Structure 1
Amino acid sequence: MPLFERNGVITVYNISYHSLQRNHNGIIQVDGSTLSNVLSNLLPYTTYNVTIRASTSVGFGPTSPFVSVLTHQSVPNTYPSDINVTTLTSTSIYISWQPMPLFERNGVITVYNISYHSLQWNHNGIIQVDGSTLSNVLSNLLPYTTYNVTVRASTSVGFGPTSPFVSVLTHQSVPNTYPSDINVTTLTSTSIYISWQPMPLFERNGVITVYNISYHSLQRNHNGIIQVDGSTLSNVASNLLPYTTYNVTVRASTSVGFGPTSPFVSVLTHQSGKIL
């Protein structure tokens, strides 16, 4: 103040700060010879009203009009809440979430990162969406695969902490491929033995419920299909024609449907003593 307004020697200044947004207030007292000060431990992205008043040895004078100041943004304190994940199809899931409380955001949320990770098949990814978005669909996932999904938010300064993961299992689909190691052995003039191995787990796209064994003879137009349980890896086809070449194929099915048919394996039944 001008000398004639001081009415004595200024001994201290009180700097008061107050935020209506966050109810965060304080007073800093500095020596009367000081004409500046740094206020620390304030809240990010918060408007403070700052006032100053001076004191002589007798007491304080009036408080100045306030000056408003907005602190810079920082990374969010926490992660989005109420994360829900729902399976849509065998290759897509729907994710929704709620933003953090205003006082935890520390700025304007610019983007959300949605991360998905599967320990089963090492299939991972990150989707980034606008900060005004509170849901998204993840596509191009693997069928019948468990994914751990997390969400985190970012201001212009950077990302806050990652949410706990939410697990989701995509729906089943038809198998990608056919059974392997198909072997066909002639037993008699009217029966053959077929065995096979299941597809690798990552090609099954679900739980194998049944196998279809098809046999077909161009010579005699004698065809058939045998269906066996998904836990079965061999079977005997009976009531075939003697001395006849059959092409045998196998295919697998989940609850959704059948995958592709294997290449055929040819087998010739034994001759019979009967004249056909």
Structure 2
Amino acid sequence: MATYPTSEQLLVIVDPIARRTDGEAVRIAKDVLSAGAATKLCLPDDPEEFARALARRGSRRPVVIGDDRALVRAVSVLHRQRELAGSVLSVVPVGPAVTVARSLGVPTGAVAAARAVLDGAVRRLDVLVDDSDGVVLGTVGIPPLRERMPEAEADPEGARPWLRTCQSLVRTLVPLRPVRTLPAAGPSRLRVEVDGVTVVDLDQPVEAVSLTPGTSGTAVVEVRPSSVGAEASPLLSEGRTVSVSGADFHYHADDRVSGPVRRRTWTVLEGALGITLPA
């Protein structure tokens, strides 16, 4: 991992949800960052301002103060701009959900995370990109297993960008909606292919499928077949491209539940995400 100099200029983008939910942690993070580096502060009010701030960052390294939703948004914007592989992103996790950031190795305390931004090292991580150009940092779960998610997080296939923008803006202005529990999914009939090889076909019901970015450009795929009586052993495989098809299914990826879709393909982008972590 390469160490970044603290003399580098930082563009500090503070997500509105972080400002609303934990203003004290935001203040602490800003104080630590500004004490250790030259910073420019940006306070976007909606996803469009967020994207414009990243596009206009110039030579400044972007630092996102926000939760998993803000982190995934930043990575997605850089990917759509085709600048992800050449960029380095830093994050200070603040907000209601920081599981993805923690899984990447980012400290969840404001002081520790800000110090990692200043004194940490750059590590390049694999990410998943699906065939609709969506980016996944953590695990994809099919079907989602009793996940508690805000109602507004459901992202139906084909939802219009203006609708998602309005939903995001509303979330910054009103309290979060009560969460709902997704019903437990029964066995599904899915075809799972890894690098073109069929791991399980439609004639074998499955309880769940998961895929996670691994190392060296592969995804770790686990298929749990449906069983009667003794629990069936999971089917494990690794590959660069994973395709799932069959009856309409939803899937959980990072900060959202998506679908229904009948087919989705994920491809590993090796080392696409550069992120600062504790040295």
Which structure has more relative contact order (CA 8 Å, sep 6+)? It is: 2
The structure with more strand, counted as a fraction of residues? 1
The structure with more helix, counted as a fraction of residues? 2
Task: Report TM bin, short chain.
Answer: under 0.3
TM-score (norm 1): 0.23
| Larger-gyration structure (1/2) | 1
